[in-house]
């Protein structure tokens, strides 16, 4: 993604709420389907609906919730909770990279505004906000407005899934497992800035595949992502004039 435009500091103006919601619009069917599939899984695993809603509201990391519930032990012990915590950490570490990249935008806001905003970091919300920022956007409501809609949809999505668990036993039948990858693929297309800029993507993909094969668990996401970013840092700048004009 580019950094050609001068980055203005963050501000709050309500006129970006609707564009922010429109930008995460493509995420809504996938989030709903994913949340429903998760509710159905929890019903099969004998969680109560109240427990499911607590997890939706507080953990708020779709993939990590899925992975944790699939690996949920019959009896919780200190060591099995530690295993769940490690699983959650490996799946969710990418959120740390995402919030780190938002520092250059939200960093100028007062802490009581910027830190709570970071609790809304998700794949889709962050990708949409990053695209907006790359086009020179600075209105914090764009990210927070879209983020809040995703959060509340996620909260309610599990309920129909939980209730209809019998019918949703196989989410793959409806292509639900494709919702996130398809959205990712769609976000990759406008990010394409030529072959050179895509070299780090190739590094990220190759490293992620190797880690996926060699290391059990979900380390491949964070290790692949960091490898891609580091390789971009190691490459010589492609436009010295522009690079030197930035601090």
Residue 45 engages another protein in binding (rule: CB under 8 A):
no
Residue ranges in 46-75 that form contacts with another protein under rule CB under 8 A? 47-48, 50-51, 54-55, 58-61, 64, 68
Among residues 14 and 111, whose Cβ is nearest to another protein? 111
For another protein, which residue of 99, 143, 154, 162 counts as binding (CB under 8 A)? Answer: 99
Q: Which of 9, 1, 14, 3 has the alpha carbon at shortest distance from 138?
A: 9
Residue 186 engages another protein in binding (rule: CB under 8 A):
yes
Residue 96 engages another protein in binding (rule: CB under 8 A):
yes
Q: How far is the CB of 198 from another protein (least distance, A)?
A: 7
The DSSP code sequence of the chain is: ----S--PPPB--GGGHHHHHHHTTTHHHHHHHHHHHHHHHHHHTT--HHHHHHHHHHT--HHHHHHHHHT--SS--HHHHHHHHHHHHHHHHHHHHHHHHTHHHHTTS-HHHHHHHHTT--HHHHHHHHHHHHTT--BHHHHHHHHHHHHHHHHHHHHHHHHTTTTTS-GGGGTGGGHHHHHHHHHHHHH---HHHHHHHHHHHHHHHHHHHHSSSSHHHHHHHHHHHHHHHHSPPS-HHHHHT--
For another protein, which residue of 20, 137, 145, 224 counts as binding (CB under 8 A)? Answer: 224
Among residues 6 and 14, whose Cβ is nearest to another protein? 6
* Vertex 128 angle, CA 88 and 229, to 5°: 60
* Pattern 118-157, another protein, x by CB under 8 A: xx-x-x---x--x---------------------------
For another protein, which residue of 103, 113, 152, 169 counts as binding (CB under 8 A)? Answer: 103
Among residues 159 and 197, whose Cβ is nearest to another protein? 197
For another protein, which residue of 44, 66, 89, 160 counts as binding (CB under 8 A)? Answer: 89
Among residues 86 and 152, whose Cβ is nearest to another protein? 86
Among residues 156 and 230, whose Cβ is nearest to another protein? 230
Residue 191 engages another protein in binding (rule: CB under 8 A):
yes
Q: How far is the CB of 165 from another protein (least distance, A)?
A: 17
Q: How far is CA 15 from CA 22, 135, 147, 161, 183, in A?
A: 12, 16, 15, 34, 25
Among residues 1 and 14, whose Cβ is nearest to another protein? 1
* Pattern 13-32, another protein, x by CB under 8 A: ------------xxx-xx--
């Amino acid at each position: 993604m580019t950094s050609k435009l001068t980055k203005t500091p963050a501000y709050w103006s309500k006129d970006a709420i609707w564009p922010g919601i429109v930008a995460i619009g493509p995420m809504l069917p996938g989030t709903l389907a994913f949340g429903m599939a998760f509710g159905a899984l929890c019903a099969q695993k004998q969680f109560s609906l109240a427990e499911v809603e607590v997890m939706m509201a507080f953990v708020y990391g779709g993939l990590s919730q899925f992975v944790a519930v699939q690996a949920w032990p019959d009896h919780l012990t200190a060591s099995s909770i530690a295993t769940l915590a490690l699983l959650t950490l490996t799946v969710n570490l990418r959120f740390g990279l995402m919030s780190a990249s938002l520092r250059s935008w939200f960093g100028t806001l007062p802490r009581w505004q910027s830190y709570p905003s970071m609790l809304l970091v998700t794949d889709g919300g962050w990708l949409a906000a990053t695209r907006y920022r790359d086009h020179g956007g600075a209105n914090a409501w764009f990210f927070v407005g879209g983020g809040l809609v995703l959060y509340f949809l996620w909260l309610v999505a599990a309920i129909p899934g939980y209730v209809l668990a019998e019918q949703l036993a196989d989410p793959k039948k409806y292509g639900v497992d494709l919702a996130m990858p398809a959205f990712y693929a769609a976000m990759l297309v406008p990010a394409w800035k030529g072959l050179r800029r895509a070299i780090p993507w190739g590094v990220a993909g190759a490293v992620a595949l190797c880690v996926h094969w060699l290391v059990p668990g979900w380390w491949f996401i964070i290790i692949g992502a960091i490898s891609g970013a580091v390789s971009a840092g190691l490459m010589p700048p492609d436009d010295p004039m522009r690079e030197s004009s930035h601090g």
